[in-house]
Amino acid sequence: MRRADRRSGLTLDLVEGAECLLVDGGGRLLGIGEMARASGLSISALRFYDGAGVLAPASVDPGTGYRRYAERQLPAARLLAGLRRIGMPLAEITRVLELRGSDPSAVSRLLDAHLRRLEEGLADARREAARLRVLCTAAEPSAEPSTEPEGRLTVPGRELAAAVDAVRFAAGADPGLPMLGGVHFEIDRDVLRLVATDRYRMAVSEVAGDPDHRCEGGAASGHSRVTVPVSFVDAARALLTGGWPATLTLGSAAVGLRVRDRRVTGTPMQHDFPDYHRLLRTATGGPDRRRVTVDVAGLRERLTAAETRTVVRADDGARCAVSVLAVDATNRLTVSPADAPAAPTDPVVRVGVNREFLLDALDAVGPGQLVLELDGPIRPLAVRRLDDDRAFSILMPVRV
């Protein structure tokens, strides 16, 4: 007996009393369980795709509702299973199945577009993971007094002033992340290190101690660290105008800076600063990073003149103006708005940055030349002084 199935468009030869049904042309019909095993799709997935009109069975028993599939539907089912594994949306899966035999280039474009979405999603996930690391490594205020020993170091006043200027702009202002609302001071033997971050950027600077003044107090290793509020940092910076040596004292209960007969004191913040060493290892390094030397004034002029695109940050809804920095194979740097298409000759590196943050970083570097380190659209951008690698800042990229 021959019957045309309206849903599948196939003509069936039904053999009464037989376990196996034959489709017109001699092909065998597969039960839904057999089809599931052969295609890699589960039975529930086959039922779903039938209901969605993506892969209809060749035959449905009117009494039991049992589905049977033609053997020649197997390639489409296996393709569907693969598209499902890479997370392609249902509408695009349907288009791929419709076009697979007639327009391979259109199928290729659909796959490329889906891969770009996956890459952008991974970039978003990396940025969110970086933010979560900050939250996870920053503890709640401790109920117990800190046992961090006191440290003292004398440094050249002008160098300390430059170090403060190099990091102050990156301190956070989000009341929900109070551990980022200050500057981290760390005495490591005879080196003072300053770090500030608001999770979208980080700035680091170092000052070598006066060789005539060794670190006093502190642990045997000469190590002491505290995070101080920006109010103390700003008051201390006001003392660093005459170039006199400055003596910094870091303790768990109080911090102080003395310049000649003038002194400013403050209270450390009772929040643990995030593990910036780990963040630095994540954000910098790599043999494939491009290093471009540029003139600060020239880059500032190009950033100011170029149009930008306004982007709304997904995590906090803040709006920012985004510029794109692109570097070609000859190490030539160009600046364009975020929605500008890539040049005919694809750049080696192309990364979107918050223009305001980059201008702040240029202010911190000062006049002259700097080195930009770029490593693709999802890795942070590093801004370094050309003649002094002890001070640098890191900017998180913005998806473009």
CATH number for domain 151-266, candidates 2.40.30.10, 3.10.150.10, 1.10.150.20, 3.40.50.800 = 3.10.150.10
Look at residue 11 in the predicted model and tell me its pLDDT.
44
Identical fold at 151-266 and 284-395? yes
Low-confidence ranges of the chain (pLDDT < 70): 1-27, 127-128, 130-149, 210-223, 278-279, 281-288, 314-316, 338-347, 400
Task: Name the one residue in this structure whose structure tokens are 């003292």.
Answer: 152
Look at residue 379 in the predicted model and tell me its pLDDT.
81
3-state secondary structure of 375: coil
- CATH number attached to the domain at 2-106: 1.10.1660.10
Domain 284-395 has CATH 1.10.1330.10: no
Q: How far apart are CA 229 and CA 234, in angstroms?
A: 9
Look at residue 127 in the predicted model and tell me its pLDDT.
67
Q: What is the DSSP string of 133-193?
A: HHHHHSPPPPSSPP-PPPEEEEE-HHHHHHHHHHHGGG----TT-GGGSEEEEEEETTEEE
Q: Where are the domains of the chain?
A: 2-106, 151-266, 284-395
371: exposed, middle or buried (Cβ count in 10 Å: 0-12, 13-18, 19+): middle
Q: How far apart are CA 372 and CA 354, in angstroms?
A: 15
Residue 28 DSSP class: B
- Please, where are the H alpha helices in 204-293? 230-239, 276-283
